Each structure stands twice: as C-alpha cells, then as structure tokens.
Amino acid sequence: MTDTTELSKVDAMPVVVTPMRRRHLRGVLAIEERTNHRPWSMGLFMGELRMPTSRCYVTALQGHEVVGFCGLMLVGDEAHVTNVAVHPDRHRRGIGARLLLVAARQAVGRGVRALTLEVRMSNAGAQELYRRFGFVPGGVRRNYYSDVNEDALIMWAHDIDTEEYGRRLDAIESAFDEPLRTLGFG
C-alpha cells in the first residue's frame, strides 16, 4: 500500500469480519509488527489457530487486505482478549469495535459469561472502546509491558450472557455508519 490511489480504493471497500485463517497471517503479522513492541510470531499465531475449541480469532478485511484482528482465549465461562489490533492507517474508523463485537458474540455463543483483557495505561483510545463494551477496571499489572516499562490496566466485562449485555452489543452495532458485514461464521 504505497500508492495513495490504491489506499483510497481499499478505503472505499466495506469492512468484512471473518474467522482468521492461515491465509490471513501475512497481513496479521504486518499489523502486529506495526502495533506491538513485542510482536507475536507466525508460529505463535499458527499455534493459536490450531486450538479452535479454546481460541477464537477474527480478522477485518477490506477487499483482500487484512486491516485488523482480534483474538480470544476461552477458559471455562471466561475469555481473555489476547489482542485487538488495527492497521495504524485505519484507526478511528470503527474497525476495532466491529472486531470486538463479533468476538464478544462468538464468546457468548460458546457459553462465556465474562471477558477480561489488559490494556496499556497510556492507551486512552482503547480504554474508551473497551468501556463502550462494558469493561470496567479490575486492577493493575505492574510493568506488564516491561519492554516499555508500562503498567497494564486489567479490565473486565461481566454477565455478557445476559439480555442486557446483548442489548448493549445491539446498540453498538446500530451506531455503525454502515451495516456490520460478517462472512464464514456458522
């Protein structure tokens, strides 16, 4: 994506959220390299994809380009959001919200009752997004991001299996400027 005409063509395409597949990993890794101080490796992502009963990974595509991804690790009736990342050129366009919405609904469908995650203390934008999804602070992990000497805020969203939480997700979806598009979910 070096040509601005090419970028604008991709920007004009709708965002589609789909289950992550091996074919998406090159794009996922490119985003991971740009957004994470300690990026995950190809092997780590491939290992996660080999555990479909305890993992749930989704990607956001515009055309054939991966523009974001989100992952969950499921343990009993809880799920840990392992990562949410959007290509830096696509921030503030609702892609992260679309990814988290689909992941949350997938979690509910698998019997999850609570979601948790860690977020950088300095990442106010991500914290704002998570609050929209009902996440509240639950603690601090000191120096969790040791490579940059930063603490993590632990956040939780409880009772995600309730009608009330379902209405929250419906309200988030109805606020999108274009309909949520998904592909490949059963």
Looking at the domain assignment, is residue 137 inside a domain? yes
Looking at the domain assignment, is residue 132 inside a domain? yes
Looking at the domain assignment, is residue 35 inside a domain? yes
Among 58, 85, 75, 139, CA closest to 112: 75
CATH number of 71's domain: 3.40.630.30
Count of structural domains, the chain = 1
pTM of the model: 0.92
Looking at the domain assignment, is residue 46 inside a domain? yes
**Domain of 85?**
4-179
Give residue 8's pLDDT.
Answer: 60
pLDDT along the chain (186 residues), means of 10: 56 92 98 93 97 97 97 98 96 96 98 97 96 97 90 97 98 96 92
**Catalytic annotation present for 145:** no
Catalytic, out of 48, 57, 130, 165: 130
Looking at the domain assignment, is residue 186 inside a domain? no
Looking at the domain assignment, is residue 185 inside a domain? no
Confirm if 31 and 57 have CB atoms less than 8 A apart.
no
Looking at the domain assignment, is residue 97 inside a domain? yes
Catalytic, out of 48, 57, 118, 145: 118
**Catalytic annotation present for 144:** no
